[in-house]
Structure 1
Amino acid sequence: MTVDRHGHAMTDTGAEALRHYEQALDDLLFFRPRITDTTQALLAAAPRSPIGQALAAYLGVLGTEEKGAAEAHQRFSRFRAGLDADRLTPRERMHVAAAAAWLDGDYRTAGRILGEIAVAHPRDLLALFAGHHHDFLTGDAQRLRDRVGGALDAWDADDPHRAPLLGMYAFGLEETGHYEYAEQVGRAALDRHPHDVWAIHGVVHTYEMRGRFADGIRFLDARTGDWSSGTLLTVHNWWHYALYALESGDTARVLDIYDSALHHDGSPGVAMELLDAAALLWRLYLAEDDQSTRWAALADAWERRADGPHYAFNDAHAVMAYVGAGRIDRARRLVRDRESWLAAKPAGANRAMTAEIGLPVCRALIAYGSRDYPAAADLLLPIRHRVHEFGGSHAQRDAVQRTLVEAALRADRPGLARTLLSERIHLRPICPYNWSAKARLEDRLGAPDRAAAARKRAAEQAAA
C-alpha cells in the first residue's frame, strides 16, 4: 500500500497518483490556481483513491459555489456507490464521512470528524487545511485557532509544511484577538515561505484590527511580488489593501484597486471575489459616496450567477449589490426565495445560518437602502453579537456592524449610537471611521467642541 510522506497509508493510490497528491497538497497550501488541474491528474491516475476523492470533494465545497458543490456531490456519490469501505484505513473512512457530511450540508458533523482526524493523525495536512477553512466559513474563531494549534507539536521544525501551518495558526490567533502574537507567528511563516499568501493574509488582518493601516500598506508594498497576482487569494488581499486606503481617506486609490483587481470586465464572477467587491462598495455606500455605475455592473454579475440557497454569507453580499444598484425589488425577491426555501424545512447548516442570521441581515440591508433606518437598526441589534455564525472574518463582518452604527445615527437613536461607538473606540482606538462617526454623533447631540475633537482625531489618524 502506498504511504504518503507523513506516514499515512493510501488505498488504491499508486506511485504516480501519490506524486500528484503531494503536489496537490502543496498547491492547496499556497493557493495556486493549478490545484484543480493537479487534483484532476491525481484522480486520472487513481480514480478510486479515497483521499483523492475526498480532496476533490473538499475543493467542491470550499469555494462556497452552489454549482461547484452540486457537481462535487454527484461525483462523490458515484465514487461511494462502488466503495468497499472495509478496504479503507480508518483515516480514509473518516475523510469519506467528513466529505459526505459537508457535501450534504451537515457542517457540524464534517467539522467534528475533521477534528477527530487531526487528533488521531496530527500530520494529516488535508484534514488540517479543510478543517481550518471549514472553521473560517462557519465563523468559529476558537476552532480556527485551536484546530491547528493542537497539531503543531507533532510537526518537526524543519518540515517544509510546518510554516504554512503557522500561517493558518496566525489567522486563528488574529480572529481570537491575539494580534501581536499572530503577527509574530505569521512573520515566522513568511521567513520560511515569503510567498505564503495565507500567512500574508493573517498578518494583514492583524494590522486591520489594530488600526495600523499605514503599516499594513508598507507591509504589502514590500511584498508586492509575493501576493498581488496569480493566486486564488489575490483579490482578497487586494481587498485588504483597499480597506487600508479607505481608512487613510484615499478614495481614488480605493477605486483604482476596485477597478483593476476586485471587479472588472475580465473578472470570473466567482462568489468569493464578488463578495469582496460588494463589501468594499458597501463601505462607500454607507459614506454616501455614489458609485452607481460600479454597483450596476456588480449587481449584474450577482444576477448572472442565479444562486440558490447555498451559503447565507454570500446572500447578504448579493443583497448589498442589489441595494447599492437601487434594485430593491431584486433584493426583496432574493429574501422571498429564501423564505420559501425555509418553509420547506430543508436540512443542513445553511438553514440555521439563513434563518437566524442571513435573512435578518438581508432585511436590514434592504431597510437601510429604503431609508427605513429604525427598521434596519431593529433588525441588526438582536444579532450583532451573533453575526459570526454565518461565517467570514471580523474584518468582513464589519460591513454589517457599520451598517448598524449608521442606522442608529440616521434613526436618531443617540443612546444606541453612543453605546456602539464607545464599544468600537475602546476596542479599536485607532480607526478614523470610528472617530468620524463619533463626530457626527456629537454634532447631533449639540456638542460642537466634542465633535471638533473627534473630527480632529479622525483626521490625524488618517494622515498618520
Structure 2
Amino acid sequence: MAPLRDCKAWQDAGLVLSTTSNEACKLFDAALTQYATWTNNESLGGIEGCLSKLKAADPNFTMGHVIANGLELIGTGSSVRLNKELDSAMRTMMMLSKSQPLTERERLHVSALDMFASGRLPKACDLWEQILQSYPTDLLALKFSQDTYFYLGYHIQMRDSVARVYPFWTPDIPLSSYVKGYYSFGLMETNFFDRAEELAREALAINQTDAWSVHTIAHVNEMKAEVKKGLEFMKETETNWKNSDMLACHNYWHWALYFIEKGEYEAALTIYDNHIAPRCLSSGSMLDVVDNCSMLYRLHLEGVKLGDRWSNVLKLTKKHTKDHILLFNDAHILMSSLGAKDHKTTDELLTTLQEAAKAPCEDHELSLAPSLGLPLCQAFVEFENGNCDKAVDLLYPIRYQLIQLGGSNAQRDVFSQLLIHAALNSKSQAKQNLARCLLRERDVMRPNSPMTERLIRKAAAVHSVA
C-alpha cells in the first residue's frame, strides 16, 4: 500500500487540503482508502477509528467533516431527518465552511453534501461532476458520485462519470486500479459485458483482494446466466474477498443466486445460513439487509420453505420501517414483514410511506413514491394476499420505470420475477399469456437460463390445465 499522504503530498497531487495538520491529512487519506476499497482495514484503524482521530487531529478541518458526514449519509444511508447527531454535524460543517478561506474545490464538496442531505441527489451529482471536470483525480468526488448514481439508477451516468476521468488515473496514482473496477461496473450495468470483464480482470491482476472487481465479474456471469462459470469463479476467488467486510456478504449473495438459478435451493440456503445471515446480523448494514431480504424472497417465489428465517430478518428491518430514505430499501423491508406475516409492520410501512409521499418536499426519492414506490409495495402485498391479477395491474405499467429506484440490474431482477410469478398464477387467460411473453423476452436476454426454462415449463403446464 502507498504511504498515506501528508499536506505536501496532497498539494503535489493537485488536491490541496485546507489544514496545516499532516496527521489530519494522513487520516483523511486512510478513511478515503478504506471507503474506496470497501474494507475496514484494521492496520489503518478501521473507518470509525480514523474518523475520530481525524477530528481530534484538526477539529476545524472542513474536508475532515465532509468525509465523515458523507460516509454517514452516503455510505450508511443515514438521514438528517432521522439522525439528530448527523443533522448537527452537517450544521457544524456548514458553519466551518463559511468561516474559513477554503479552495473552490472544497466549497463544492460542502455544497454537494448539503444537496445530498436535503434529498436533492441529482443536484449533488452535478456538483461532484463540476469538481471532477477540473480535478479528475479527486477520488472522494468520484466515489460519492458513483454511489449516488447507483441509488438513482443512473447507470449511464455512473459509467460515463468514470470514463471522463479514467485517462488521468495513471498507475502511479494511489488506488488507480480500483478506479478500473468502478469503470468496469458501470460498463457491466450498461451491458458492455466483455469490456467490463476485461477491465475487472485487469484490476484483479493488480490487486486480487479488490472485492468490487470480483463483484463486477459475478454480475457479468449472473446477467449472462453463465452459472457454471460463476460458481467456479466465486469458489476460486473466495479467500481473496471474504475479508472485505463491506462487500463479502454481497459477494456471497451473488454466489447463492447461481444456486437459485440452477434450482439448487439447499446449496443456496447453506450459503445464506453460513454467510449472509450471520454477516448481516453483525453489520446491520443496509446493503446486507437488502441482500438478506432479496435472497429469501427469491427462494419464497420458488416455493422454498424458509422456517423462521423471516422472523430473524424482521428483527433487523423492523426499526427501519418508517425511515423511507430509499424506496428500494422500503421494498425490501416490506418483503421481510410480509414473509414474517407481521401485518402491523406491513401496514405501518405503507401508511407512513403514503404520508411521506403527500408532503411537498425537494426529496428526490419521496417524489417517486406516488408513481413508483407505492404501486411496487402494493404489488408485493397483493401478491402475498393471493390477488395476482391486481399485482400484475400494479407492476406491469411501471416495469420500465423501476430502474429509477436504483440498485443494480441483478438486484432489481427480483421485481421482474415477482411480475412473472404473479402473471403465471393469475386466473386471467390474458395475464397467463403475458407471463409467456415475459418469459420469451427473458429467454432472449439470458439464453440457457435454467430458471427461465423452469418457468417456461410451468407456464406450459398452466396453459394445458387452462
Q: The TM-score by the shorter chain falls in which range? A: over 0.9
Equivalences for residues 199-214 of structure 1 within 5 A? 199-214=213-228
- Write the deviation string for residues 187-232 of structure 1: whole angstroms up to 9, x where unpaired: 1011111111111111111111011122112111111111123421
Structure 1 contact 292–324 (Cα < 8 Å) conserved? no
Deviation at 1:181, TM superposition (A): 0.9
* Matched residue type, 1:22: D
**Pair 1:222–1:20, CA change in 2 (3 A):** same
Deviation at 1:436, TM superposition (A): 0.9
Match of 1:72? 86
**Pair 1:396–1:196, CA change in 2 (3 A):** same
* Matched residue type, 2:78: E
Match of 1:148? 162
Please, which of 65, 70, 73 is the counterpart of residue 61 of structure 1? 73
Deviation at 1:382, TM superposition (A): 1.1
Structure 1 contact 65–270 (Cα < 8 Å) conserved? no
Equivalences for residues 263-274 of structure 1 within 5 A? 263-264=277-278, 266-274=281-289
Cα distance in 2, alignment partners of residues 319 and 282 from structure 1: 10
**Pair 1:13–1:370, CA change in 2 (3 A):** farther
Cα distance in 2, alignment partners of residues 308 and 54 from structure 1: 23
Deviation larger for 44-53 or 280-289? 44-53
Please, which of 347, 364, 369 is the counterpart of residue 354 of structure 1? 369
Deviation at 1:43, TM superposition (A): 2.2
Deviation larger for 25-34 or 381-390? 25-34
Give unpaired runs (5+ residues) of structure 2: 1-6, 41-45
1:123 aligns with 2:107: no
- Tell me the secondary structure at the aligned position of residue 446 of structure 1: helix
Match of 2:258? 244
Deviation at 1:137, TM superposition (A): 1.3
Match of 2:30? 23
Cα distance in 1, alignment partners of residues 385 and 347 from structure 2: 11
Deviation larger for 416-425 or 304-313? 304-313
**Pair 1:13–1:326, CA change in 2 (3 A):** farther
Structure 1 contact 2–14 (Cα < 8 Å) conserved? no
- Write the deviation string for residues 77-97 of structure 1: whole angstroms up to 9, x where unpaired: 122124336611110000000
Equivalences for residues 61-100 of structure 1 within 5 A? 61-62=73-74, 63-66=76-79, 71-84=85-98, 87-100=101-114
**RMSD over aligned Cα, in angstroms?**
1.9
1:432 aligns with 2:450: yes
Give the share of equivalent positions with the same residue, in percent: 28
Structure 2 contact 159–187 (Cα < 8 Å) conserved? yes
Cα distance in 2, alignment partners of residues 252 and 6 from structure 1: 51
Match of 2:212? 198
Cα distance in 2, alignment partners of residues 78 and 382 from structure 1: 45
Cα distance in 2, alignment partners of residues 162 and 106 from structure 1: 29
Structure 1 contact 58–99 (Cα < 8 Å) conserved? yes
Cα distance in 2, alignment partners of residues 158 and 107 from structure 1: 32
Give unpaired runs (5+ residues) of structure 1: 449-464
* Matched residue type, 1:207: N
* Matched residue type, 1:197: A
Structure 1 contact 195–226 (Cα < 8 Å) conserved? yes
Match of 2:404? 389
- Tell me the secondary structure at the aligned position of residue 208 of structure 2: coil
Deviation larger for 68-77 or 355-364? 68-77
Deviation at 1:234, TM superposition (A): 1.2
Cα distance in 2, alignment partners of residues 323 and 13 from structure 1: 54
Cα distance in 2, alignment partners of residues 423 and 352 from structure 1: 31
**Pair 1:187–1:51, CA change in 2 (3 A):** same
1:135 aligns with 2:142: no
* Matched residue type, 2:22: A
Cα distance in 2, alignment partners of residues 445 and 279 from structure 1: 29
**Pair 1:66–1:272, CA change in 2 (3 A):** farther
Cα distance in 2, alignment partners of residues 425 and 241 from structure 1: 21
Match of 1:320? 335
1:340 aligns with 2:355: yes
Cα distance in 1, alignment partners of residues 330 and 20 from structure 2: 39
Deviation at 1:396, TM superposition (A): 0.4
Deviation larger for 133-142 or 352-361? 352-361
Cα distance in 2, alignment partners of residues 252 and 48 from structure 1: 54
Match of 2:200? 186
Deviation at 1:160, TM superposition (A): 3.7
Structure 1 contact 69–103 (Cα < 8 Å) conserved? no
Match of 1:416? 434
Cα distance in 2, alignment partners of residues 209 and 87 from structure 1: 49
- Tell me the secondary structure at the aligned position of residue 283 of structure 2: coil
Structure 2 contact 321–345 (Cα < 8 Å) conserved? no
1:52 aligns with 2:64: yes
Structure 2 contact 225–448 (Cα < 8 Å) conserved? yes
Structure 2 contact 361–367 (Cα < 8 Å) conserved? no
Equivalences for residues 23-42 of structure 1 within 5 A? 23-33=30-40, 34-42=46-54
Deviation at 1:343, TM superposition (A): 2.0
Matched pairs, number: 448
1:402 aligns with 2:417: yes
Deviation at 1:430, TM superposition (A): 2.5
Match of 2:18? 11
Match of 1:456? none
Match of 2:380? 365
Deviation larger for 400-409 or 291-300? 291-300
**Pair 1:92–1:3, CA change in 2 (3 A):** farther
* Matched residue type, 2:108: M
Equivalences for residues 209-288 of structure 1 within 5 A? 209-264=223-278, 266-288=281-303
Equivalences for residues 154-165 of structure 1 within 5 A? 154-165=168-179
Q: Could you tell me the TM-score, scaled by structure 2's length?
A: 0.92
Deviation larger for 261-270 or 168-177? 261-270
- Tell me the secondary structure at the aligned position of residue 119 of structure 2: coil
* Matched residue type, 1:21: F
* Matched residue type, 1:56: A
* Matched residue type, 1:435: E
1:374 aligns with 2:389: yes
Deviation at 1:66, TM superposition (A): 4.1
- Tell me the secondary structure at the aligned position of residue 151 of structure 1: helix
**Pair 1:129–1:23, CA change in 2 (3 A):** same
Q: Could you tell me the TM-score, scaled by structure 1's length?
A: 0.92
